[in-house]
Chain A
Amino acid sequence: MQTRPKIIGTAAKRLEDPRLLTGHGSYVDDKTPAGTLHVAFRRSDQSHATILSIDCSEALKMPGVVAVLTARDLEGLVKPVVATSKMRDYHATPIYPLARDKVRYVGEPVVAIVAESRYLAEDALEGIAIEFDTLPNVVDPEQAAAPDAPLLHEDAGTNVIVRREFLRGDVDLAMAAAAIRVNRRFRFHRKTPMAIETRTYLAEYDQGRKSLQLHTTSQIPGIIRDVLTDILDLPTVRVVAPDVGGGFGGKASVYQEEILVCILARKLGRPVKWTGDRLEDLSSTSQGFDEIVEAELGLDEQGRILALTAEVVGDIGAYSIYPWTAGLEPVQVVSFLPGPYRVAHYRGRVRAVATSKPPTGPYRGVGRPTSTFVMERLMDMAAQKLGLDPREIRLLNFVSQEEFPYKTASGIVWDRSGFTECLTSACAAFDYEGQRAAQAVARAAGRWVGIGIASYAELTGIGSRISASPGMPINTGTETATLKIDSTGAVTAAFGVASHGQGLETTLAQVVAEELGARLAAVTIIHGDSAAVPHGTGTYASRSAVLAGGAATLAARALREKVERMSAHLLGVTAAEVMVADGFAFVPGSDKKISFRELAKAVYSEVGRIPAEARESLEETKLYDPFFGTTTCSTHVTQVEIDPETYVIKVQRYQVAEDCGRIINPLIVAGQVHGAVAQGIGAALFEEMVYDEMGQLLTASLVDYLVPTAVEIPSIGVSHLDTESPSTVGGFRGMGEGGTIGAPAAIANAVADALNHLNILIDELPVTPERIFQLIKNKEK
Chain B
Amino acid sequence: MPSWKKDCPCSRANEFMKPAQFEYLRAASIAEAVAALSAQAGEGKIIAGGQSLVPMLNFRLLKPLLLIDIMGIAELKFLEETPGGGLRIGALTKHHTLETSPLVKRLFPVLSEAMSHVAHLAIRNRGTIGGSLSHADPAAELPLMAVLLDARIRTASPEGGRTIAAADLFVAALTTRLLESEIIVEVELPALAPATGWAFEEVSRRAGDFALAAVGVLLAVEKGKVSSASIAMMGVAETPLRAARAEALIKGRAIDASLLDELVTAVRDACEPNTDLHASADYRRHLVGVLARRAVIAAWKRALGEQP
Contacts and interface: CB of A to CB of B under 8 A. Distances in A.
Given A122-B18, A646-B287, A646-B290, A32 B280 contact: no
A161 B212 CA distance: 40
A774 B16 CA distance: 43
Given A32-B12, A279-B59, A704-B277, A769 B20 contact: no
Interface in B287-306: 287, 290-291
Contacts of B55: 701
Interface stretch (B97-105, B192-200, B202-210): B202-210
A690 interface: yes
A32 B10 CA distance: 12
A686 B282 CA distance: 20
A131 interface: no
Contact of A118 (B16, B206, B207, B212): B16
Contacts of B277: 690, 698-699, 704
A709 B15 contact: no
B278 A770 contact: yes
Given A32-B15, A38-B15, A769-B283, A709 B206 contact: yes
**Prevailing SS type, chain B contact patch:** loop
Interface string A724-758: 00000000000000000000000000000000000
Nearest to A773: B283
Contacts of A690: 277
- Most chain B beta-carbon neighbours within 10 Å: one of A126, A699, A704: A704
B18 A277 contact: yes
A279 B207 CA distance: 23
A123 interface: yes
A613 interface: no
Interface in A698-712: 698-699, 701, 703-704, 706, 708-709, 711-712
Contact of A686 (B20, B206, B208, B283): B206
A117 B15 CA distance: 6
Nearest to A771: B283
Nearest to A705: B277
A123 B21 contact: yes
A473 B271 CA distance: 59
Contact of B282 (A126, A645, A708, A777): A777
Contacts of B18: 122, 277
Contacts of A275: 15
A774 B14 contact: no
Contacts of B57: none
A404 interface: no
A646 B205 CA distance: 11
B203 A648 contact: yes
Contacts of A648: 203
A774 B280 contact: yes
Give the most central of A117, A646, A703, A712: most B CB within 10 Å: A646
Nearest to A118: B15
Interface in A25-69: 32, 38
Contacts of A708: 206
Interface in B5-45: 12, 14-18, 20-21
Among B20, B203, B205, B286, max chain A CB count under 10 A is at B205
B73 interface: no
Interface in B172-217: 203, 205-210, 212
Contacts of A770: 278-280, 283
A331 B282 CA distance: 39
Given A123-B21, A773-B283, A686 B205 contact: yes
Contacts of B286: 773
B203 to A, nearest CB: 5
A204 to B, nearest CB: 17
Interface string B267-286: 00000000001111011001
A704 B206 CA distance: 11
Contacts of A645: 290
Contact of B207 (A699, A701, A712, A777): A712
B207 A711 contact: yes
Contact of B205 (A117, A122, A706, A774): A706
A499 B14 CA distance: 30
B282 A773 contact: yes
A457 to B, nearest CB: 32
A774 B286 CA distance: 11
A119 B278 contact: no
A648 to B, nearest CB: 6
Contact of A711 (B15, B17, B21, B206): B206
Interface string A107-142: 000000000011100110010000000000000000
Nearest to B286: A773
Contacts of B208: 709, 711
Contacts of A773: 280, 282-283, 286
Interface in A637-676: 645-646, 648
Interface of B: 12, 14-18, 20-21, 55, 59, 203, 205-210, 212, 277-280, 282-283, 286-287, 290-291
14 contacts: A32-B12, A38-B15, A119-B16, A277-B18, A279-B59, A646-B287, A646-B291, A686-B206, A703-B210, A706-B206, A708-B206, A711-B208, A768-B205, A769-B279
Please provide the 3 A-B residue pairs with the shortest distance between their CB atoms, ordered closest to farther. A711-B207, A645-B290, A119-B17
Given A32-B15, A123-B20, 9 more contacts: A118-B17, A119-B15, A119-B16, A275-B15, A645-B290, A698-B277, A704-B278, A709-B206, A769-B203
